[in-house]
Structure 1
């Protein structure tokens, strides 16, 4: 059985899911190999430091964040990208409210309860 999202996902029809204090997300498409997730942060919210076996790339759509990846911290803002290798500790602090676009490979089954 193939695991995948609908072909079209419309922001206005999709609920925002809680993803931590001051953080919500929308899953914008996935199959077993990849997942795209939009994550909205309030100023001061944290993406708790964690690691997972998935490869992750993140695009900063808006806002300003301090990201820490594998012990290195940098300030990123709209238009910037971050790469997190599998099993690498990473997290962020939102300095200016904004939205991140996360891409995972393989998909994050834990995000959809499978």
Structure 2
């Protein structure tokens, strides 16, 4: 049996899941190879530093964030992107409330297990 999401994921029909203090997420589509996740932060919320074996790329849909990736710190804002190699330690602090769009390959099975 193939693991995958529904074909259409409608924001107003999907609940936000807790993802840390001041952070919520919506899984917006996935199969075994890929996962798209929308993550909403309030000002001051933290994406705790962590690592995982997935390749990740993140798009800043809104807001402003201070990101640290593999020891390098940068401020990113609406329209910017971040590439995170497998096993690179990364985290962020939200400087202005906003939304990040995360794409993972392969999918984050651990996100589905928490449901």
**Which TM bucket (shorter chain)?**
over 0.9
Query: Which residue in the other structure is 2:72 paired with?
Result: 72
C-alpha distance in 1, partners of 2:19/2:31? 21
Task: List aligned pairs for 1:71-110, cutoff 5 A.
Answer: 71-110=71-110
Deviation, 1:84, is 0.2
Q: Which residue does 1:61 correspond to in 2?
A: 61
SS of equivalent residue, structure 1 residue 112: helix
Cα shift readout 1:55-75 (whole Å, capped 9, x = no counterpart): 000000000000000000000
- Corresponding pairs, count: 114
**Any runs of at least 4 consecutive aligned residues in structure 1 with deviations exceeding 6 A, and if so which?**
none
Shift of 1:4: 0.1
Q: Distance in 2 between matches of 1:15 and 1:112?
A: 14
How does the TM-score come out when normalised to structure 2?
0.98
Structure 1: gaps spanning 5 or more residues = none
Secondary structure, counterpart of 2:95 in structure 1? strand
Q: Mind listing any 5+ residue stretches in structure 2 that lack a counterpart?
A: none
Quote how far apart the aligned CAs of 1:101 are.
0.1
**What is the RMSD computed on CA atoms of the aligned residues?**
0.8
